[in-house]
Structure formats: C-alpha cells, structure tokens
Homo-oligomer: A and B are copies of this chain.
Amino acid sequence: MKDRYLGFVNSPFGTSIARTLGLPKPEVLRRHRADQPEFGGMATIGAGPSPVLFDAILGVLSAVGMTGVAHDSAPGWLPVAARHGAMSGRFEPRSRDAAPADRVHALIFDATGIAESGELHAAYAFFHDAMRSVARSGRIVVFGRAPSCSANPRTATAQRALEGLVRSLGKEARNGITANLVQIDDGADIDATLRFFLSPRSAYVSGQVVHIAAAGDVIPADWSRALAGKRALVTGAARGIGASIAAVLAQHGAIVTGLDTEAARDALDQTMLSIEDLSPSNGAHAALLADIAMPEAAAEIAMALAAAGGIDIVVHNAGITRDKTIARMSGELWDSVIDVNLSAQERIDDALLAQNVLRAGGRIIAVSSISGIAGNRGQTNYATSKAGVIGRVLSMAPVLKASDIAINAVAPGFIETQMTARMPFGVREAGRRLNSMGQGGLPVDVAETVAWLANPGSAGITGNVLRVCGQSLLGA
C-alpha cells in the first residue's frame, strides 16, 4: 500500500495545495541508493566540558568524506582537526537548502564530559545556535555516558537528562531529521554506530538511546561489505520485513540462509533467487524450510546450519499476529502467537548454543515491536510475546557475553507491509502520521538497523532495544 498522501504533498501541485491549506508535509526521507553517495556535507561539532570523542568522531568524518566545523562550545575541535590534517572551520548558520557540499548534514554533540545539570547549558547553546541549519533528512547525534556507569548521582542525573533533550529535539526537528543518543563506555568503538546514524540507512531510527560497551570490535576492511564472510540465518524470510533483512544482509556481504515454512516455499525461493541476482554468492545463499512451531524444528535447523559450517548472525524475524480482544481470543490463538514469536526463538537459540553452531563473535538480533513496549488493544498475545522478546534480550545479554556473542532487539513501529495495507484506513493513517517523520517506515529501514547491529564493529552493542519507528508517539 503506497502512502499516497506522502506522494501527493511532495508533488509540485500537492506542495502548493499543502501550503495553501496548511497541511502537514512529511519529508520524502533520503534512503540509501547504490547510485548516490552515502555521505556528504558538513557536520557541526559541539561539546560540553572535557569531551573525549573528538579524535574518534574526526576519524569517522574523514573516512566518509565529511567536514567537521566547530561550534563555539567545541573550541578544542580545531586543534584536533589540524593535528589530523583535516579540513575544518568555525560553524556559521546556513540555510538548510544550501548547496549539498555546504549543507549542515549533521549536528554532533559530545556530552561525555557533562558531569552535572548546570553543564547541560552547553548542549542548549549548541542546539539553539545550530538547529535551524540542519539540512532535510539531516542527523542529530549526541554522545553521552550510561547513567548507570556514572561516577556519582549528579553525573548520572545530567547524563539521563540528555534523553529528554534528544527526544525533544527529535520532535522539534521535522524535515526527516533524526535525533539519537549514544551512550559510550570507556574504550567503546563508535565507528559503526556513527556511520549508521550519519547514513541514510538510519532514515527511520529516531528518539533512540544506544549503549556501546568496550568490546573486541573488528573494523571491517570494506565498510560497504562489512558482513563479507559472515553467515546469517533469517527466519520468516519469504516476505515483508524478513525478505528485506535477508536482502540487505546479503548486500552487506553476508551469505544468507532464508528460513520459512513449507507453505511459503515459492515466495521464499523467489526471494532467495532475487537476492542471488543482486548479491551473488555462487549459490551459497540458501533457502531452508522449517516450521519453527514444531518442537523438532530447532534441532533440525541447528543440524542444517552446522553442516554448512556454522553461523555468525541469527535474525529472529518470524512472527505472526492473531488479533482478538482477550475475551474473544481462543486458547489456540494465544498459544500459537506466544510459541512462534517467543518460545521458538528460545528453542532455536538453545539448540544453536548447545551445539556451538553460533560462532564466537556472533550476533543474535530479535524482532520485537512497539506493541511489546506499549501494549496494544486486541493484541494481548502479540504484545506479550514481543515484550518477552525484550526480556530475552535483556536477560541473555550478560549470559552470552562470556561467549563473545551480542544480542539485541529491533522494535518496529508502523512499517509499510502487506499487514499494514490490510488495516482499516483510520488506523493506518494514524500509524503513519503519529511519529516525528509523519509517515510509515519501510522494511528496508528495519533491515538496515539489523545490518548495523550485525556489523563486526558493533560488538560493543548488546542488551539494547532499538525502535525503528520514526520516533512514534506511542510508548510506555
């Protein structure tokens, strides 16, 4: 189902109608295209006291061909840039429609040194001065510290306060601009994450908080094929979000095993064929038929993957909805949703881990939902299963650290799929508009988020739940 309103208000005729009537005009989000440069423009740099990330940020900007200019709050940026021989300069306000090379594509604020609430003023000063200069589909990235790891309550308080700032900035920015907060531990590697947030690949991720611990990150030799040599399993890969995840992981270089049920055999075969066409693997991409609701499926999947030499990335995407209010819901509808969406993930991971099929350095990425966070009328079964997925991620993360495996969840909001196309008009329109982007996301937005979490450079990200929801208003 195409978002006709989005298309209309961005057509020449629709633009003038929208302006005349004062209608909201959601931005056509810039997404990754192979024929367009991924990065470009300038990043304006701001900072609180004692920022620690200038070298790391400069490294990423230089690598992707962006220029960092210093806001008054970040006088230390210029000497760092000079030392690296990087282009730099002082921030000056600009039009958000300036020529591409001159556009402020990103505002990056290093808040790692903010130690008490009074020092938050630096963040205010930066965004006050720079907010209007951010280009359409631009990016706001704030780096801070995990409150739970802060030296004292005052620092923890100020760091937590940044959440309120970033979420408010996301709601003020509009024009397809995202705002996210990245909390780093000492020694954490920010490259994969800053690249993701600067890139059009993160088009529908906004209002999120990510924590990165220090870990044995492996910097990809070729960032455009960061998953080269990795083997990935994607459940529910025949259609929709799962098919997109399989395709995007393959584009990033992974060898993908797409799993779905016998009933979806034809769709799965087509999906895997199109992936082979676009991202050739000499036939190593594979379809695997299994009904994960069957108790024996987990062992069969583990055996099949072991025979192929093991696996590096497991994406638990398979899920079903069987919506009814609880008073009208049969026991079968409850059990099937809990089993497929939650218990099957447990069985599969247990089998993979018991037999060491999931290799060290591996990743588990589970698909949750904002229904699992906020609850939803008519979805007691679905919301329960998806809240359980979050519980798995939080509880397995410390257990899996010993095996050098990271586990995270993505929680999609309103994503345009066959499922949402079948919604009643009012529900669908509300889902599309009640977020900071004013539109639904696309399956590729979820897929790119999964690919970032699967990146060898994201080893320090574990136990996180990332919403892919355009900063939906809905939550808890």
Contacts and interface: CB of A to CB of B under 8 A. Distances in A.
Interface of A: 116-118, 120-121, 123-125, 127-128, 131-132, 147-148, 150, 152-154, 156-172, 207, 325-327, 329, 331, 334-335, 338-339, 342-343, 346, 371-381, 383-392, 394-396, 399, 473-476
A131 B121 CA distance: 50
A124 B346 contact: no
Instruction: State the majority secondary structure of interface residues on A.
Output: helix
Given A124-B331, A394-B156, A399-B153, A171 B375 contact: yes
The 8 A-B pairs of least Cβ separation, nearest first, read A475-B475, A167-B375, A160-B391, A164-B387, A161-B388, A156-B395, A164-B383, A168-B375
Contacts of A381: 124
Given A164-B383, A168-B380, A172-B380, A157 B342 contact: yes
18 contacts: A117-B388, A118-B343, A124-B381, A127-B327, A154-B346, A157-B342, A157-B395, A159-B391, A160-B390, A161-B384, A161-B385, A161-B387, A164-B372, A164-B375, A168-B375, A168-B384, A172-B325, A373-B475
Contact of A475 (B121, B124, B128, B474): B474
Contacts of A156: 391-392, 394-395
Contacts of A335: 121
Nearest to A387: B164
B326 A383 contact: no
Nearest to A179: B375
Contacts of A172: 325-326, 377-378, 380
Contact of A391 (B161, B378, B384): B161
B327 A128 contact: yes
Contacts of A124: 326, 329, 331, 334, 380-381
A12 to B, nearest CB: 29
A31 to B, nearest CB: 24
